[in-house]
Structure 1
Amino acid sequence: MESVNPATGERVETYDEHDDGDVEDALAAADDAFQDWREVPIREREKLLANAADVLRENKERYAKLITREMGKPIEQARAEVEKCAWGCEYYSEHASQHLGDEPRASPAGTEVFTSYEPLGTVLAVMPWNYPFWQVFRFAAPYLTAGNTGVLKHASNVPGCAKAIEEVFVEAGYPEDVFQTLLVGSGKVDDILADDRVKAATLTGSGPAGRAVAETAGRHLKKTVLELGGSDPVVVLDDADIDEHIETMAQARYQNTGQSCIAGKRFIVHSDVYDEFLDAFLDEVDGYSVGDPENPETDVGSMASEGLMEELHEQVRESVEAGATVERGGEPLDRAGAFYPPTVLTDVPKGSPADEQELFGPVASVFEVDSEAEAVEKANDTDFGLGASVWTEDRDRGERVARQIEAGCTYVNQLTKSDPRVPFGGIGISGYGRELASDGIREFVNRKTVWIE
């Protein structure tokens, strides 16, 4: 399994894949480890998770460079990702016992009734490359602290990150085999999920991958949580303060080189501020530094691979052929590496890729609407339903519009983000289930009713 730097095309490292025997050994070890791990008091599990936060911070520079070299993220954003993982660990180290404490229930006099939250066993995590540390810790921090064991099948282009995350838990003092990384291809996922020792699965990735996991899990009656991407609307109303928020709006699209499930992808702008918005947005784009992701001055790095860049460019090309106008960008950069410039499309025709598909890269689609009602209608004109944002100077109006948008999370005057303190997930073809906060940690537990007469 090769790790290739997408900014240079150079090989970073080669790793040995795990074979069927290695997979069998890992699942057996995870099952054995669970029997002891589930009995470890939650306060001790919380302490180990706090240790993991310390390990992350102590090694932040090394891990950030690894992220950047494997998938092209600008180095400052890679550092921020590692820091966010540490924050997520700290959140659950402080709040897991509260989220999983026995919950008293109404009952007749003389009885005691409560809900107990107990671990299920080994959880399989199938994770993507775009946030190669955060996506994993978003799974591992709550589910391990709940008493489950974890087996990670990471994206094949970030094997170094996968091994480094395993290292974090070892150095934090976790018992052997509580968390393991399997370097295997996607073809092995079905058999791993079907194994009786695997009790549940979580996947962040593409729609086809999610459907395959859901189908296998359904046949074996196993719980799953799926986060499958989005085409998030950014609704800019006629009273939005463009000057105040344009930097954040642009960041919502182009951070992580646009390779984010919750990136703002469809900018739906009221006609009264459309020209002002577009001019300001293009000015922001013109100011971005595109280049070497290891340079701290770089705003937009390389995409994660040549193949992904080619897929994105084909979507742009088809949209332009259908009638979209290229305001900025629109062609791969003439240089080594998978570099696609920050691109802005206007006059996007209905039904074109830039209108109805997820563009997983630095391409913004801008739409003009004549009213608040039309903005809401356009925002909901999608099969996706992950995140959304609304921009207005009227907080009450912002809340009203946010409630009308069909998405798992909607932010007013803020970009859509995942935060350990609030539930995260989508509806429609963006998936189901929730991660983070109390909702996330309770996804993979047995919510057991205990009635004592």
Structure 2
Amino acid sequence: MDIINPATGAIISSWEADDAETISSKFHSLQAGQPLWEAQPLSQRQHALWQFSDLLGQHVDELAAMLTQEMGKPISQARAEVHGARKRIHFFLEESAQWLDDEYLEEEGDTTEMIGWEAIGVVGYLSTWNYPYLLATNVVIPALLTGNAVLYKPSPQVTGTGEQLLALLHEAQVPRDVVQLVRGGTAAGKALLQQPLDACYFTGTYANGQDVYQQAARHMTPCHLDLSSNDPVYITADIQDVEAVAQTVLTGAFYNSGQSASGVKRIYVHRDVYEPFVRHLSRETKRLRMGDPTQEGNYIGPLATPQQVILLQQQLDDALKKGAKLLAGGEPWTGAGNYFSPTLLAEVNHDMRLMQEESFGPLVGIQEVLNDETALRLMQDSPFGLTAAIFSDHWAKVEPLMRRMKVGTAYWNCCDRVQPNLPWSGRKQSGMGTTLSYLGIRAFLRPKAYHLVNPR
């Protein structure tokens, strides 16, 4: 299994993929080790994961370099991801204890009612490549803290990154029979899902999520799906500092080369501020530097896979054919690597593919709207429901709109923001289940009801 550098097309490394036999062996090792891990005091599990966080901090540059090599993330953003993962780990370490405690609900005479919390067992996690450290942190860390074992399959594109993560967990004294890694692509994923897992977590596309869900259903395995998106932003008429809003939206659209599930994909702008917003955003988009992701100062790197370049080009061609106006980018890349220049389109509409499909790259469309109701209707004209943002100078104006949006996360005057104390979830084809926040801790626990009668 060869890992390809998306910036050069060169082979970085080669790995032997797991087969059904090795995956089964890893699963049964975890199944044996999990009860012992759960039986340890929470403080001992916390200690190991504090050590893991410290090790991430000690190896930031090394870890970031591998991440940049494997999926093309600009080096400064790769370092930021590792630091961000540590912040999330600290949240889970500091918050987990209160959500594992038994809950005493009622006492009546000699009877006490209590809820106890127990680990699920062995959790399988199939992840994707765009934020491997943050995504692993969302699942692997709370799963381990709550006493579960984890069979972790990173995307094959970031196998080396996954191996580094696993090595540091083991160095931090998380036992080998508590967390293991599966190497490989589709065949390895299917073999993993054939194991009698106690829970399954998946991050990826809607189409792949459907397949995972169907496979998990054969074993009645509880399944959490973090899936596709096509996230909208609306700029209302009352915005005074249009230039500042344009800069915020620019970051939301093009950070990580546009390969963020919560990134800005569709922009709706009230007609009263449309012209200045488009002018500012076009100017700033043209200023973004694209190039070698290992070089400081380059904001746009290559896309992780060549398939994404093909999809974006198809969406761009479709939009231009149907009347979209090219404001920035759009030039074909003729050199090595999976590059696609940051591209901005105006005069788009919902007959165009990029306004209906997930783009997952630096391609964004802007549509002018006449009023708030039109904007809300268009924002919700999507099979996805991950995030949505509204920029306005008045909360009273936007609160009713935000409460009507069918999304897991709503933003006011910000976008593409994920914080560990808030739940992360999707609606419609963006998935099911929750990670992060206290809900993302409790998600890895099973409740047990206790009816306790004290004999006299």
For 2:368 and 2:146, how far apart are their aligned partners in 1? 47
The residue number in structure 2 matching 1:161 is: 161
The residue number in structure 1 matching 2:131 is: 131
Contact 1:46 1:96 in 2 (8 A): no
Matched, 1:216 2:215: yes
SS at match of 1:434: coil
Name whichever of 236-245 and 60-69 sits farther off: 236-245
CA shift, 1:192, in A, is 2.3
For 1:332 and 1:150, how far apart are their aligned partners in 2? 42
For 1:376 and 1:63, how far apart are their aligned partners in 2? 41
Runs ≥4 residues deviating over 6 A:
none
Deviations 1:71-123 (A, max 9, x none): 00011110010001111111111111112222232453432212222111111
Deviations 1:192-247 (A, max 9, x none): 22322x11110010111110111122222111110112111111111123222322
Deviations 1:277-334 (A, max 9, x none): 1011111101111111111101111111222211211121122222222211123322
For 1:51 and 1:375, how far apart are their aligned partners in 2? 48
For 2:36 and 2:124, how far apart are their aligned partners in 1? 19
The residue number in structure 2 matching 1:306 is: 306
CA shift, 1:417, in A, is 2.2
The aligned runs of 1:18-97 (5 Å cut-off) are: 18-97=18-97
SS at match of 2:168: helix
For 2:254 and 2:43, how far apart are their aligned partners in 1? 40
CA shift, 1:19, in A, is 2.3
The aligned runs of 1:374-393 (5 Å cut-off) are: 374-393=374-393
For 1:287 and 1:22, how far apart are their aligned partners in 2? 49
Letter paired with 1:447: P
Contact 2:349 2:367 in 1 (8 A): no
Contact 1:410 1:416 in 2 (8 A): no
Q: 1:401 to 1:48 in 2, by over 3 A?
A: same
SS at match of 2:108: coil
For 1:126 and 1:332, how far apart are their aligned partners in 2? 33
The residue number in structure 1 matching 2:200 is: 201
Contact 2:17 2:188 in 1 (8 A): no
How many residues were matched structurally? 452
Contact 2:311 2:359 in 1 (8 A): no
Q: 1:104 to 1:242 in 2, by over 3 A?
A: farther
Name whichever of 41-50 and 364-373 sits farther off: 41-50
The residue number in structure 2 matching 1:316 is: 316
SS at match of 1:416: coil
Deviations 1:135-178 (A, max 9, x none): 11111111111111101111111110110110120121112221
In the alignment, structure 1 segments of 5+ residues that lack a partner are none
Name whichever of 404-413 and 11-20 sits farther off: 11-20
Contact 1:52 1:89 in 2 (8 A): no
SS at match of 1:250: helix
TM-score by length of 2: 0.96
The aligned runs of 1:388-399 (5 Å cut-off) are: 388-399=388-399
SS at match of 1:264: coil
Contact 1:409 1:416 in 2 (8 A): no
The residue number in structure 2 matching 1:226 is: 225
Contact 1:356 1:382 in 2 (8 A): yes
Contact 1:52 1:86 in 2 (8 A): no
The aligned runs of 1:141-152 (5 Å cut-off) are: 141-152=141-152
Instruction: Give identity over the alignment, percent.
Output: 29
The residue number in structure 2 matching 1:260 is: 260
TM-score by length of 1: 0.97
SS at match of 2:207: helix
Letter paired with 1:215: Q
SS at match of 1:133: helix
Letter paired with 2:298: T
The residue number in structure 1 matching 2:351 is: 351
The aligned runs of 1:385-424 (5 Å cut-off) are: 385-424=385-424
